[in-house]
Amino acid sequence: MLSLKNKKAVITGGGSGIGKAIAQLFAKQGAEVHIIELTTEVAQEAANEIKALGGSVEVHACNVADHAQVQKVFDKIGNLHILVNNAGIAHVGKADTTSEEDFDRVINVNVKGVYNCLFAAIPKMKAAGGGAILNMASIAALVGIPDRFAYSTAKGAVKAMTMSIAKDYLADHIRCNSISPARVHTPFVDGFLQKNYPEQIDEMFDKLSKTQPIGRMGLPEEVATLALYLCSNEAAFITGCDYPIDGGFTTLNN
């Protein structure tokens, strides 16, 4: 069950947080994992841990917002069976407090970056006989989140792209789904608290945890388990779907 043996998987942003958990689990299940990160240094710890457990992994330095860079990396990787578009950046701000520069930066990474990887990967997935694409959306694509205008805009686009890809490539045996997490406990959260609330870390961590009705943040490993299922042969009948993994955030916060 849930074996990825003889599958080649590309995971963007696979050096930390959710992406790292996905890379590690996919390698454990037998996939040949290719991690794309802005620098190889960012992904080296994840790669070392995978290799220590006998997994197959290669790291590629690439800015997903750069079309030519992405194409070059995917040409090097060759035919593939799984693409996880996980790389992304956050931003805090409303429509009238988000600068044009910040808006463009978020869109370039979170939307154009996904497009660039889709553009490069789909022909190679066709050549492999089909495959599975998983895009990382967010609950911000489903409900209103305060002060997340640019981020919500981008993640809404990612969800829409997921549906479009799923429809367009049915005949090519390419499935496409997305995951919409709520708050997940990653190094990003720890860094955010340390930077903004150095004297109230425990208090703010508890407050952020309780925004999920289940009473805690998600774990990267929990998101990775859902990703594994959606990219495995066991999910062969699933395409064009978005899966909230949110501790009840989108349905129980009333």
Known catalytic residues are: 151
Q: How many CB atoms lie within 10 A of CB 167?
A: 11
Q: Is 40 left (phi over 0), alpha (psi -120 to 50) or beta?
A: alpha
Compute the chain's Rg from CA coordinates: 18
Backbone region of residue 23 per phi and psi (left: phi > 0; alpha: psi in -120 to 50; beta: other values): alpha
User: Which strands form 131-136's sheet, in the order they lie side by side?
Assistant: 56-61, 32-37, 8-12, 82-85, 131-136, 174-181, 242-245
DSSP-assigned states of every residue in 67-96: HHHHHHHHHHH-S-SEEEE-------B-TT
Q: Which residue has the tokens 């895009």?
A: 135
